[in-house]
Every structure is written in C-alpha cells, then in structure tokens.
Amino acid sequence: MLRGMPLPRPDHDTQPFWDAAQEGRYVVPRCAACGVGHWPPGPMCPHCFGDEIAWGDAPTRGSVYSWVVATHPVAEVLVDQVPYAIALIDLEPGVRVVGNVVGCDPSAIQAGMAVEVFFEEREEGVRVPNFRIPSGNLEA
Amino acid sequence: MGAQLREKAAIVGIGETEYSKESGRTELALACEAIRKAADDAGISVGEIDGLVRYDMDPVDEVALTSSAGLRNLRWMSHTGYGGTGGNAVIVHAAAAIAAGLATTVVCYRSLNERSGARYGQGSTWMSEKVGGFEQMQMPWGLLTPAQAFGMFARRHMIEYGWTSEQFGAVAVALRTHGSMNPRAMMRKPITVADHQASRMIADPLHLLDCCIESDGGCAVIVTTAERARSLRKPPAWIMGAAQGSGTRARGIIFRDDLATTEAHFTAKDVYASAGVGPADIDAVMIYDHFTPFIPMALEAYGFCGRGEGGPFVEDGRIHFDGELPVNTHGGNHSEAYIHGLPHIIEATRQLRGESSAQVPGCEVVLSCSAVAQLSAAVILRKD
Ligand SMILES: [Zn+2]
C-alpha cells in the first residue's frame, strides 16, 4: 500500500463513490436513461447527456488496459516505495479507472490481465479501493 | 472550416531570453525581455502592440505587462487553456483577432522559471494533502506527474502497434542532433540510441531521455495584419491556416475511450482545411515534444504516415533536419528548452526566414502543432 499519497476531497459528483468505498463497496456512476457508465464521475452522462445518475456496484473484477511502472520517486515519500505499478483498468463499458496492481511484480503485468478489487485502509483511516491479482476465489 | 484566416496575418517578430537552469530573475522580467526583443525583431515599438494572448498557466498577467513592459495600448486580450497546447493556440487566437479586426498587432508570450521554481516533473508541484476534481481519481494511487500519465499512451501504442523503446530512442537522438547544432540549446551533447536505452527509467516505458527537460526562460511572438507585415523589418511568416481541437472525450488526460486516438486527429482535419494544403505540402514539422512517443503519434494524426506506423516512421534518420521530414530542428522541448512549446512556432518562423541552425533547404511550408493528446492546436506557416 502506498504511503503518503494525497487523499480525496470529495465533491457533489464523487461523494457517493467515496462513501461506498468506506463501506467496502466499489460503485460507479451509470446513466439512468441509457444505462452506460462513465468515469471519472460527472454530473451528466457523456454518452446521451442524461442528467440523472444511478450509482451501482461495479464488477469486482476488471482487466488491465494500460500501465506504467513508477520507477523514479517523484516525491520524497516515495523514495522507499518505488517501483510501483499504476494501471488503467477496464471495469465495464465506459468505466476505466486507475489503480495499482498489488501483489505482483510490476514487470509481470500484461495487457488484458485480470485484476480484482480490494480495499486498503490508508493511515488516515480512509478506505481506498485498489486492485490485485485474483486469489482464485471468485467471490473475492 | 474554411479559409477565413488564410494569410490575413503573419508572424513578424520573435524574441527569446537566454534559456537556463536558473534565470535569477522573475518571470515578469523574462516576459518583458522576450516581448521587447520580439518588438525589436519586428522593428516596431512595444507601444504599437494592441493585442495580447497569454497562456492561462502563465504567472505574468496583462496588468503586470501594461505597467512593466510598456504595453499601454491594449484593446484586445485573450487566454488559451491547457498547458502545452498554448504554443500554437496563442497564434490561432492572434490570427483570429486580427482577421476579425479586433487588433492589428498582437503579442503572444510564455515566461517561466520551471527549473528553478516549481518543476513539472516533481510530484510536489502537483500534490497536496487532499485533491479534488479528476485528481482525486488518480493521485491516491501515486499517479502524480505528466510522465506517468503520458506513459500510459506510450504503453498502449506498444501493445496495439508493437512500438518499441528503441523507436522512442530514435526520436531522442534526432532532437539532440538538432540541439547540438543550436547555440541557444541547453542540451547540446549528441546521444545515441544506446545512451537512450541506458538512461534510467522514470515511468516505465519512459526513460529519462524520453522526457523533456525543465527550463527557465521567456519567449514572445508578434503577429500582425497582412498589410502591416509587408512593411516590417523581417520577411513575414504567413499564417495560412490555424485550428484548435478538443477531441471527443478526455478528462485528466488519461480518462478517455481510446489512448491510441488523440485530439490532434481532429485538429489535423481543420488545420489542413483552413490552410488549403495537405501533408504532402509540408516541408518541416514542429511538434510539442513533452515525451518522445508523442512525435510519432503526431505524425500519424497529421497524416504523414498511417495509423500505427509512426513508430517505424521515426527510425533511420527520417525526422532529422536532412531527412525526409525534418521535425523540431531546434531540438524541441528535449534539447533546446522547455518553454511550454512556444519555441516551436519561433523555430517554424526561423525555418521560413532561412535562419535556423539546422536549416532545411527549400523550406517553404511548416506545420507547427501542439499537445497531441490534450486540447490541441496547430498552425501552418508559409514563406514570404
Ligand atoms: Zn446516457
């Protein structure tokens, strides 16, 4: 788990995401009219411009779309934490989110690799969802 | 998109301060010097400037310049958004204002102490204890700097099209070759692809030599009407066409449907229609090179090669000053200086005046484009 990273300052568009995360749920915004999700959370559907957002549970698994491995510590607090992977993860159509791929050597990451959601408790007591290699338990 | 801007305006003055790691001066001082030099280059007095375009990220505003630089007669002012796109977006705005009769002589500028001040490559420049907006969906996972965000595009092109790090190295070599010929350049020691490969990894797949440098300095460009341009000191660089583009959907750079389709694909169509020319008419290209992979991406977007072909295209010296399609003959953000892309339009002007340190023989039409995968802008210039 990364230490010393900025924590979220939720706003009207993102509050439901962070509220659910504190309860251990990964929720995403979907359009009440067309049903398609989007990311990051916004006030309106970017596909049909409907302005009613219906939040719902995301799939617990996603796949890696792209990634970088942060090897150079860009902040003092990262000096003993590099390397770490930062990935773009496809959760469902329209929803591609950021996470680390935890529990795997960053050099082993591949495009399309499956990852699953889990929750980290940051030192400030804030729960932040993240991703790891599936344990094999489909309910994980 | 039509010919509304075609040769209604021209670039007539360019000015630059020294580029360094530590200017030892305020950004206001850098802006004042660059503007004065650009006015001198054009052979006008600063008081004749009646329009101004600034980058919205610039620390120096209009008010500071009216009191310090002698810009006492401004009647039209504008800002352009989103970082490095400004390098060409400022020229788009200036040309539009002149075509509309809102101003006759417009100065565009960028001044920054980005090396001695807040460095863009440092997380601390962007981080705070709590972050809002799209950053709350990036920074908690340690996605903190431009190299990390733009590295995602490089990786995706490697996945989809088989691009290689050595191809990015070929870009770095071309930029440094040009930098080695440029007396203004901060980085002049030639490099090889092997040096690129040996440079430390920053945000894998991006090595250190895939990342632009950090600099202190200021630049200014003066644009004026067709009528006035003909009577000034230097031959005008005629603005044939200019365009900006948003693309379809992108927030925080990386949140988009397709990391292999950039905003520049949209801008390209408009800038060619605006100028009435196509890729085959272009003699040299200046591309906002924050990271090396964005040069092949821009070359695809602007139609110099097919989709996915940018990686192989940049090999074999093709983008060197003496190659088939010279790119960034000043050394770009990687070797000359990082003044947020404004030096690129200055170099385009130099090429058309025949004053480049890596002069392209018979250079008559230059495309200058910026911020491939962000809000995007492009300008096509023609020799007098
Ligand atoms: Zn919708």
pLDDT value for A69: 98
* Best residue in B125, B139, B141 for a mutation probing chain A (most A CBs within 10 Å): B141
Instruction: Provide the total of helices (H) and of strands (E) in chain A, helices listed first.
Output: 1, 9
**Mean pLDDT on B292-311:** 96
Tokens of B360: 């392209």
Confidence band, pLDDT 50/70/90 cuts, at residue B252:
confident
pLDDT value for A82: 97
pLDDT value for B249: 67
pLDDT value for B225: 98
Distance of alpha carbon B203 from alpha carbon B225, whole angstroms: 45
Give a yes or no: residue B302 inside a domain.
yes
Distance of alpha carbon B144 from alpha carbon B142, whole angstroms: 6
Instruction: Provide the total of helices (H) and of strands (E) in chain B, helices listed first.
Output: 13, 12
Supply the ipTM of this predicted assembly: 0.96
Supply the residues of B annotated as catalytic: 288, 338
Q: What is the CATH number of the domain that holds B68?
A: 3.40.47.10
Poorest-pLDDT segment among A16-25, B73-82, B102-111: B73-82
Asked if the model's pLDDT at residue B1 lies above 70, the reply is no
Give a yes or no: residue B340 inside a domain.
yes
Q: Which residues pair with B77 in a beta bridge?
A: B52
* A contacts of B153 (beta carbons < 8 Å): 66
Tokens of B346: 């200055």
**Mean pLDDT on B298-322:** 97
> What average pLDDT does chain B have?
95
Confidence band, pLDDT 50/70/90 cuts, at residue B246:
confident
Give a yes or no: residue B191 inside a domain.
no
pLDDT value for A123: 79
Asked if the model's pLDDT at residue B40 lies above 90, the reply is yes
Distance of alpha carbon B137 from alpha carbon B133, whole angstroms: 8
Please list, in sequence order, all residues whose beta carbon lies within 8 angstroms of the beta carbon of residue B350, skipping any fewer than 6 positions away: B14, B330, B356
Distance of alpha carbon B156 from alpha carbon B161, whole angstroms: 8
For chain B, give the percent of residues with pLDDT over 90.
88
**Mean pLDDT on B174-197:** 98
DSSP-derived secondary structure for A48-65: T----EEEEEPPSEEEEE
Confidence band, pLDDT 50/70/90 cuts, at residue A125:
confident
Q: If 0-12 CB within 10 Å is exposed, 13-18 middle and 19+ buried, where does residue B9 land?
A: buried
**Mean pLDDT on A79-102:** 97
3-state SS class at A73: coil
Distance of alpha carbon A96 from alpha carbon A40, whole angstroms: 8
What is the distance in A from the centroid of ligand 1 to the CA of A55?
13
* Cross-chain Cβ contact B137/A65 below 8 Å: no
Distance from CA of A3 to the nearest CA of B (A): 9
Give a yes or no: residue B261 inside a domain.
yes
**Mean pLDDT on B42-70:** 94
Give a yes or no: residue B192 inside a domain.
no
Q: How many CA atoms lie within 13 A of B231 on its CB side?
A: 4
pLDDT value for A139: 42
3-state SS class at B63: helix
Instruction: Label residues A82-115 b or e (16+ Cβ within 10 Å = b).
Output: ebbbbbbbbbeebbbbbbbbbeeebeebeeebeb
- Name the domain count of chain B: 1
Q: Which of B127, B255, B259 sits opposite A6 (nearest CB)?
A: B127
Higher-confidence residue of B372 and B360: namely B360
Tokens of B234: 């230097």
For chain B, give the percent of residues with pLDDT over 70.
99
* Cross-chain Cβ contact A74/B144 below 8 Å: yes
Distance of alpha carbon B224 from alpha carbon B203, whole angstroms: 42
Confidence band, pLDDT 50/70/90 cuts, at residue B274:
very high
Q: If 0-12 CB within 10 Å is exposed, 13-18 middle and 19+ buried, where does residue B195 land?
A: middle
- Pinpoint the alpha helices (H) of chain B: 27-42, 62-68, 86-99, 123-126, 146-161, 165-180, 193-198, 226-229, 264-275, 294-301, 310-313, 332-335, 342-353
Distance of alpha carbon B208 from alpha carbon A101, whole angstroms: 23
Q: Report the amino acid identity of residue B68.
A: S
Distance of alpha carbon A70 from alpha carbon A77, whole angstroms: 13
Give a yes or no: residue B354 inside a domain.
yes
* Cross-chain Cβ contact B140/A9 below 8 Å: no
**pLDDT tens-digit readout, B128-168:** 899 999 999 999 999 999 999 999 999 999 999 999 999 99
Distance of alpha carbon B294 from alpha carbon B297, whole angstroms: 5
**pLDDT tens-digit readout, A5-37:** 999 999 999 999 999 999 999 999 999 999 999
Give a yes or no: residue B178 inside a domain.
no
* Cross-chain Cβ contact B131/A9 below 8 Å: yes
For chain A, give the percent of residues with pLDDT over 90.
92
> What average pLDDT does chain A have?
94
pLDDT value for B127: 87
* Cross-chain Cβ contact A6/B122 below 8 Å: no
**Mean pLDDT on A106-122:** 96
Asked if the model's pLDDT at residue B250 lies above 80, the reply is no
Q: Which of B121, B137, B153 sits opposite A98 (nearest CB)?
A: B137
Distance from CA of A46 to the nearest CA of B (A): 8
Inter-chain contacts counted by CB atoms under 8 A, chains A and B: 121
For B229-248, the three-class secondary structure string (H helix, E strand, C coil) is: HCCCCCCCEEEEEEEEECCC
**pLDDT tens-digit readout, A29-63:** 999 999 999 999 999 999 999 999 999 999 999 99
3-state SS class at B9: strand
DSSP-derived secondary structure for A5-61: PPEE---TTTHHHHHHHHTT--EEEEETTT--B-SS--SS-TTT----EEEEEPPSE
Domain range spanning residue B312?
9-117+213-382
Give a yes or no: residue B132 inside a domain.
no
